[in-house]
Amino acid sequence: MVKKQHLALLTFLAVFLSILAVGGLVMPLLLDRLERTYIEIQADVNRRQAVSMAQFIHSRLARGATKKEILADFQASIEGTDADRGYVCLIDQANSGFLCHPMQSMNGLNISVKNAEFDISFIRQNPIPWEIAIKNPESRSGLLLINNATMEEVVHSEVIPELGWVVSSHENTQRVQDEIASYRIILLLGSAAFALLLAFPVSFAGRRVSRSYEKRIEESNVMLADEREKSDQLLLSILPKAIADRMKQGEKNIVNHFSKVAILFCDIAGFTELSSRNPAEKIANLLSVLFSQFDKLCTKHGVEKIKTIGDAYLAACGLPLPDMDPVAKIVPMALEMRDFVASQPWGIQVRIGIHVGEAAAGVIGTHKFSYDLWGDAVNVAARLESTGLPGKIHISEPIKESLGENGWSYEDQGEKELKGKGKVRTWLVEPRQ
């Protein structure tokens, strides 16, 4: 492949020698070489664009995204692209069908509808049907000759073997051909007397156009990737991933009912007195360390953090995706939360209350929105926390029944008067020694 730093020299020679030869035999050969140089540069740009999108897919896979989620993100990233000029699409190697295309009407169709042939040589010799070429296991670049070569596109196909997908980056060659035609007119109208005067500015202009063109593509790709990453990270810091994905797809008024959710409330015993005896900065640092560790435990146990309010921490298991046994995850996490606080030199203890039952959850508000949950089960968990003991895990009868007797010991707390519920029998739970 011709290196881009040689483009200025080739352009100069094309102009200078063609003027001297008065458009004879030299000019067509140099213009052909110039066209190939532009096409090869575009192929390199397409390759980097396709590789960048393939890396995006790999990163989403590494973060546990499903194929459906990846396809939705990919389709969203190419929406609004002018498919008549240049675009990126995603193809299934197995059936040669479009998975994602800027023109959504193409999704699901076989690529044979394009009536295209693929030429890896870039010189329009021995092309093969595109639907056959796409099944090649190697990533490669070439020319796509569409409708008996009435239209051409520079293409790079980046294979993602573990998914059987191909990221295909396209650029219409019409602009290159138009630029070559403009050079041809300049050369035909030139003369030997003005060869040097014309060669330098034309070659400089060609170099500047190619650099500017390549730079704009690279900058737009980098900006697109950076902004998408920032947007995803910001959204994931506010909402659960499943909810964030639904919002990115345009869904509004997200509210769901869950039949079995384990809910945990935790707060610091004597926090009001603690706050009055210490500077605000010290309290803020303590809460930051404490809640950061709680966040890590949520990730470890597959529990969803809901929110913090002052020194209170609310988490739940069984949403936004259902869980067959949320109690088995949230109780061990509660014990680790309690033990972490006890291991620190802060001299504080936490109260934790846990209940399981029905709850509703959804995105609340349109400005500074949040994911929250509500229902009778939430209120019971809050009351269990407020009536519990420092350093203990206070649970309801449904939690005890779900845990069973194997591996756990319980301390009967009798019937507690819970606001809004009346008398409810509760227990303190510990792992059996």
pLDDT tens digits for 130-178?
999 999 989 889 999 998 878 889 999 999 999 999 999 988 888 777 7
Q: Are residues 297 and 345 both part of a single domain? A: yes
Residue 163 φ/ψ, nearest 5 degrees: -105, -15
Other C-beta atoms closer than 10 Å to the C-beta of 15 total 27
pLDDT tens digits for 239-277?
666 666 666 666 677 778 899 999 999 999 988 888 888
Q: Is residue 51 part of a domain?
A: yes
CATH of the domain at 405: 3.30.70.1230
Percent of the chain's residues with pLDDT above 70: 78
Domain that holds residue 228: 4-238
Considering only 41-55, 250-264, 271-285, which range has the smallest mean pLDDT? 250-264
| pLDDT at residue number 13 | 64
Q: Are residues 159 and 279 both part of a single domain? A: no
| pLDDT at residue number 388 | 92
Q: Which residues contact 38 (CB under 8 A, 6 or more apart)?
A: 7, 176, 179, 180, 210
Q: Are residues 205 and 258 both part of a single domain? A: no
> What CA–CA distance (Å, rounded) separates 30 from 422?
92
Mean pLDDT over 58-71 rounds to 90
Q: Give the residue from 171, 169, 176 showing the smallest Cα distance to 85.
A: 171
Q: Are residues 216 and 286 both part of a single domain? A: no
**Matching residue, tokens 């913090």:** 308
CATH of the domain at 159: 3.30.450.20
Percent of the chain's residues with pLDDT above 90: 42
Q: Is residue 245 part of a domain?
A: no
Mean pLDDT over 278-306 rounds to 93
Q: Are residues 130 and 166 both part of a single domain? A: yes
Q: Is residue 280 part of a domain?
A: yes
Q: Decide if pLDDT at 410 tops 50.
A: yes
Q: Are residues 205 and 295 both part of a single domain? A: no
Q: Give the residue from 240, 244, 224 showing the smallest Cα distance to 232.
A: 244
Q: Are residues 196 and 60 both part of a single domain? A: yes
Q: Is residue 244 part of a domain?
A: no
pTM of the model: 0.48
Mean pLDDT over 320-327 rounds to 90
Other C-beta atoms closer than 10 Å to the C-beta of 314 total 21
| pLDDT at residue number 84 | 76
> What CA–CA distance (Å, rounded) separates 357 from 337?
22
pLDDT tens digits for 179-229?
777 777 766 665 555 566 666 566 666 666 666 666 777 777 777 666 666
| pLDDT at residue number 270 | 87
Q: Are residues 65 and 140 both part of a single domain? A: yes
Mean pLDDT over 20-30 rounds to 62
Name the average pLDDT for the chain: 83
| pLDDT at residue number 264 | 96
426 touches 397 (CB < 8 A): yes
Q: Is residue 316 part of a domain?
A: yes
More confidently predicted of 22 and 206: 206
Please name every residue paired with 261 in a beta bridge, in sequence order, or none if there are none.
357
Q: Are residues 273 and 198 both part of a single domain? A: no
Q: Are residues 223 and 313 both part of a single domain? A: no
Q: Is residue 386 part of a domain?
A: yes
Domain count, the chain: 2
Q: Decide if pLDDT at 22 tops 50.
A: no
Considering only 27-36, 76-85, 165-174, which range has the smallest mean pLDDT? 27-36
Q: Is residue 247 part of a domain?
A: no
H/E run at residue 76: helix 67-78
Q: Are residues 314 and 192 both part of a single domain? A: no
| pLDDT at residue number 365 | 63
The angle subtended at Cα 308 by Cα 252 and Cα 329, nearest 5°, is 85
More confidently predicted of 395 and 370: 395
Q: Are residues 286 and 195 both part of a single domain? A: no
| pLDDT at residue number 419 | 83
Q: Is residue 243 part of a domain?
A: no
